[in-house]
Structures are given as structure tokens and as C-alpha cells.
Amino acid sequence: MPEESKPFGVKVTDSFSRRFQFSLWKLTAVYVAILAIILFLSSFIIYSAFSSQLVHRFRDVHPIPEEYLNVIAPAPSADDVRADLINSLILVNGFLLVIAGFSSYWLAKLTLSPINEAYEKQRAFLSDASHELRTPLAILKTDLENEMAAPGVSLAAKARAESNLEEVDRMGRLVSDLLLLANSGEDGSNRVKNVQKVDLTVLARQVLGRFDRLATEHQVTLRSSPDNIALEILTNEELLQRVLTNLVKNGILYNRPNGSVTINMAESGSSVIINIVDTGIGISPEDLPKIFNRFYRSDKSRSRATGGSGLGLAIVRSSVEQLGGSVTAKSELEKGSSFTIKLPKRI
């Protein structure tokens, strides 16, 4: 059984928006703590100073003679005044602490806003740049295809154009993946829209069907379980399909002859668990915490040979997060990997 990597489990759900929210609450708590300490110290100083004043004030007060006791109200004692002071301090400080809570949250948000803005700018830049790159790539592709199909083209020129076309295709996939990631709304603002009823077993079969040829080429068997009972959830089919597609593709590409990729599905309370298991080359414990990072490839030469850009798992993570779920991975070198996705039955 492949071994679980704990740091990895934490890493996967660690999106920018979650880290941002966590930092916001942490900073708010720090500000509240500082203000509470200031309030406590100032109250303590006020109380000490006032108490010592009280001692002097009440030292020279003479008791009211018996015969006047019915005529005028008895003067308060030093303890009465001290108790009044404590009550007032508690009341005022309690009120100030509530105000401190709100203003700390506002202050923390203000402190962190440049980070949020920088992140948004980076995302917008990535989206614009990827978008702009699409047109020249499409022109290049058409030119190279025409060059290859031109009459009388030499074999050497054709081979060169073919190799260039492969690079352009790779670049095209990279640009599409980047665009997908940039527009995936990791900040949670881009909540999933097209929610529909999806039968997981049907979707799994469809995804596996699309990889029939690739699996045969790599001598890998594809399975899904269960494959005959309906397992319906309310989700965004396109995003879920993207997740399964990326994981099954990796399961085939990082596999060995006579290996297998299996999609297991099960209900678990208000969630469903989808587990994609392969019997492939596995991932080392050092690489496991990093594989969901953008552009991370543990085996650069193999990844390049498979045409991978290192964005597949980053897309998986971002898509699962948009679906309100989580993804974790277990792996053992030379034995295989297992990716587990937990999704709510309805978003």
C-alpha cells in the first residue's frame, strides 16, 4: 500500500485565498491582543493611581455623627468607590474591546490589501499574456502546416517543420493551461456556475474511454469501480471532467507496461470520494509535497517526453477547490500513486 505523505496533505488545500483568509484572522488576532494588552495596562495604571488617591482622600474623612445619620445619606466608603471604579472599567473596556475587534479586522485587511492587489494583478497579467500568445501561435501553426504540405518540399525541411510544429503544439497546450489557471478564480470570487446532476460512474467511463488508445499504446489497463450503479452528485461537470482527465492521463503516462489505472468511487456521508490509483513509477517523498505547484516536474526528461508542462496537477488542485472539495495524494516509488478527491454531493 503506498505511503501517505502528511505535509503533502496540508499543501494541497493551501490555496492563496485560504492562506490569505488565515493571515487576515491571524493579523486581526494579533492587533486585538496588542490593543487588549494596552487597555489592560492603562486600566491597571488608572486603578492603582486612583486607589492610592482614595486612601489619602478617605484618611481625613470623619464619620458622620449619629444624630445626623437620619438626615443625610452616609458617605460612601473607599471600598464602594473602588468597586464603582472596577465596574466602570469593566464596562468601558468591554465596549472598547468590541470596537478594537472591528477596527483590528479593518486594519488587518488594509495591511494585507497590497498583497491581494499584487496577486490579482499577477493573475490578470497571466490571463492577458496567455490570451495574447494564442493568435501568433495559431498563425505559426498554420504556416508550418502549409510548409509541410507545400509541393516539392525537401525531406529535411519537412522534418524541421514537423519538429517545429511539435514545439508550437506544446506551447499551445502550455498557453491554454496557463489561461485556464489564470481564469480559474483561485480567490473564490469565481464561484462555480453551471451546476448540474452528474452521474460519476458514467463520467468515469467516458473519461477512460477517451484514453483507450493512449492506454493501449502504453500497455496500461483502465478500470472504474463501480461501473454499473448510478452515483449522482450536483456539481460542475466540465471541471470534474478536467480533474479526472488530468489524473487518468498522468496515471497512464507515468506508468509501466502491464500496469493499470483504476478509478474507485464511493459515497461517504454528504461527500463522494473518488480515488484514482495507478501502478506506475511512483513519486519520491521529496517530490510529493511539490507536485501540485505550478511547473513542478519531478522527472523533467520524462515529463518533457510526455509533452507535460507541469501545470496538470495545479489545474487539478484549482478545479477541485472550485468544486468545494479537497485532493490528497499518496505514493511510493516503483509501486504507484493514488490521488483521492473528496467532493460535496452538492456544491
243: contact with ligand ADP by CB under 6 A: no
- Least distance CB 158 / ligand ADP (angstroms): 28
Nearer to ligand ADP, 120 or 217 (CB): 217
Q: Per-residue x/- marks for ligand ADP, 302-321, CB under 6 A?
A: -x----xxxxxxx-------
50 binds ligand ADP (CB under 6 A): no
Rg of the chain's alpha carbons, rounded to an integer? 33
Q: Is 337 in the site for ligand ADP (CB under 6 A)?
A: yes
Residue showing cell 494541497: 12
CA-CA distance, 165 to 171, in Å (whole number)? 10
**Nearest distance from C-beta of residue 93 to ligand ADP, angstroms:** 53
Q: How far is the CB of 133 from ligand ADP (least distance, A)?
A: 18
Distances, alpha carbon 38 to alpha carbons 31, 32, 44, 51, 103, in Å: 11, 10, 10, 20, 15
In the complex with ligand ADP, the residue whose CB is nearer, 10 or 98, is 10
Q: Which is nearer to ligand ADP, 282 or 289 (CB)?
A: 282
Task: Output 309 or 319, the one with its CB closest to ligand ADP.
Answer: 309
Q: Using CB under 6 A, which of 208, 291, 327, 341 touches ligand ADP?
A: 291
Sort residue 219 into left (φ over 0), alpha (ψ -120 to 50) or beta.
Answer: left
Residue number with CB closer to ligand ADP (316 or 323): 316
Residue 224 C-alpha cell reads as: 472504474
Q: Compute the distance between CA of residue 108 and CA of residue 100 in angstroms, rounded to an integer.
A: 12
Applying CB under 6 A, among 15, 164, 298, 326 the residue interacting with ligand ADP is 298
The window from 57-65, 82-90, 108-116, 293-301 that contacts ligand ADP (CB under 6 A) reads 293-301
Please state the closest distance from residue 7 (CB atom) to ligand ADP, in A: 16
**Among the listed residues 281, 320, 341, 343, the single contact to ligand ADP using CB under 6 A:** 281
Among the listed residues 16, 58, 119, 296, the single contact to ligand ADP using CB under 6 A: 296
Interacting residue ranges for ligand ADP, rule: CB under 6 A: 246, 250-251, 254, 278, 280-283, 291, 296-299, 303, 308-314, 337
